[in-house]
Structure 1
Amino acid sequence: MIDKKVEILSKYVPAAAAPLIAKWIDFYKVDFKISRSRNSKFGDYMPPQRGYGHKISVNYNLNVYAFLVTTVHEFAHLVTWNDLKHLAKPHGVEWKNNFKKMMQPFFELNIFPNDIKFTVVNYLENPAASSCSDINLYKALRSYDEKPAGALNVEQVLENQFFTMKNGRTFKKLEKIRKRYRCIEVKSGLIYLFSPIAEVYLTEN
């Protein structure tokens, strides 16, 4: 049974990491699901409730390194819940320590390219609630995605240039405010704040 899990997981994480993830799934009796894509998060964890056990889901369309980091992130939630139940803060000291501890075997196996390893190590100094919310880690992980032709990040768009989102909405990039960029939608004239790593496409005025 575990061999089948390893076979499936090897399609989503580096092959050398799959056996350990498969062991965790069995050991912790997790309902582990490969989920549809969600824009707001890479994965999530739900503790046992109403007669059901632990549940973890991870987006199917992540590259192998993003999938692995997200999976370890969610398993750290599981271990923290097992230790402290509802007493621990969701991303408190206990979770951070468990995340660091559970990442260590993958460093020892040399799973990650040097650029991702360096960024993950820095991230682990003070992990955020989500790898999506740490710009440096998000960039490092997404750099291994297969990007559509012509796609670029909002931070690469010049000020006053126009860009289009996947849904066809067109914007003009304005100035940067703290960590985000003000952009005006051409059709409505409304102002929106964009993450610097939002994926867009250049377009004509």
Structure 2
Amino acid sequence: MDKVKVLERYLPPDAAPLIGRWIDYFKCEFKISRNRGTKFGDYRAPFDGKGHRISVNYDLNPYAFLVTTVHEFAHLHTWNEHKHKVKPHGAEWKANFKRMMQPFFQKEVFPPDIKLAISNYLDNPAASSCSDLNLYRSLRKYDPVKESVHTVEKIPIKSVFKIKDGRVFRKEEKLRKRYKCVEISTKRVYLFSPVAEVELVEG
């Protein structure tokens, strides 16, 4: 099947032809991957006879899929220019990400709130990667609603919740950017991102 037709299932349709051209131009193996709880996408540099490889989680909404795809292609482009001589999310990567986003801005692919969040993210050198919470929250608004899923920041203090692997925690106070949470069975303390997705446990 034509790769652009496949990409249209995951991306905003206007974005699919350009991503298809990038895959060909950069001779990149592009894989639509299962969900990985710790990351949206991944770039692997040429190694051991294999060329550039990018994978993006299949279950992202179209805007998150596109932002993640451009993020990973910016890594590829930066590697072609500098190999391993620069930081993964340094100035060179940021410049490439910003430049590679421009065609999608020109096509008005993104809703205004996501476009603004991307622009703010790119203008803020303190935000080292797509862990930027403002951008993450903007993208997440376009996810399908899951009734049972909440983010840690939205549930009350002392709420009991469980994560995907079944472990159960109690939410405690916020420490700088993350929330202190205590695992019920071991009493060990863990720090959770405000946007970590969890399921409430009925008391």
- What TM-score range do you get, normalising by the shorter chain? over 0.9
2:136 — aligned with what? 138
1:110 CA drift (Å): 0.4
Q: After TM superposition, list the pairs within 5 Å mapping 1:9-20 onto structure 2.
A: 9-20=7-18
Q: Is contact 1:41-1:130 (8 Å) kept?
A: no
Q: Is contact 2:90-2:128 (8 Å) kept?
A: no
Q: Which 10-residue stretch deviates more, 191-200 or 82-91?
A: 82-91
Q: Which runs of 5+ in 1 are unaligned?
A: none
Q: Is contact 2:179-2:193 (8 Å) kept?
A: yes
After superposition, the CA RMSD in angstroms is 1.6
CA distance in 2, matches of 1:172, 1:51: 48
Q: Is contact 2:74-2:100 (8 Å) kept?
A: yes
Q: 2:198 aligns with which of 197, 200, 203?
A: 200
Q: Is contact 2:151-2:196 (8 Å) kept?
A: yes
Listed one character per residue, the Cα deviations across residues 49-95 of structure 1 (whole Å, up to 9, x for unaligned) are 22221111111111111110011011111111112222232221111
Identity %: 59
Equivalenced residues, count: 202
The two structures have a TM-score, normalised by structure 1, of: 0.92
CA distance in 2, matches of 1:46, 1:167: 27
2:78 — aligned with what? 80
The two structures have a TM-score, normalised by structure 2, of: 0.93
Give secondary structure in 1 for the equivalent of 2:43: strand
Q: Which runs of 5+ in 2 are unaligned?
A: none
1:129 CA drift (Å): 4.3
1:11 CA drift (Å): 0.6
State whether structure 2 residue 111 is matched by structure 1 residue 119: no
Give secondary structure in 2 for the equivalent of 1:87: coil
Structure 1 runs, 4 residues or longer, greater than 6 Å off: none
1:43 CA drift (Å): 0.9
CA distance in 1, matches of 2:121, 2:197: 22
CA distance in 2, matches of 1:51, 1:201: 43
Q: After TM superposition, list the pairs within 5 Å mapping 1:98-109 onto structure 2.
A: 98-109=96-107
CA distance in 2, matches of 1:166, 1:77: 29
CA distance in 1, matches of 2:101, 2:108: 11
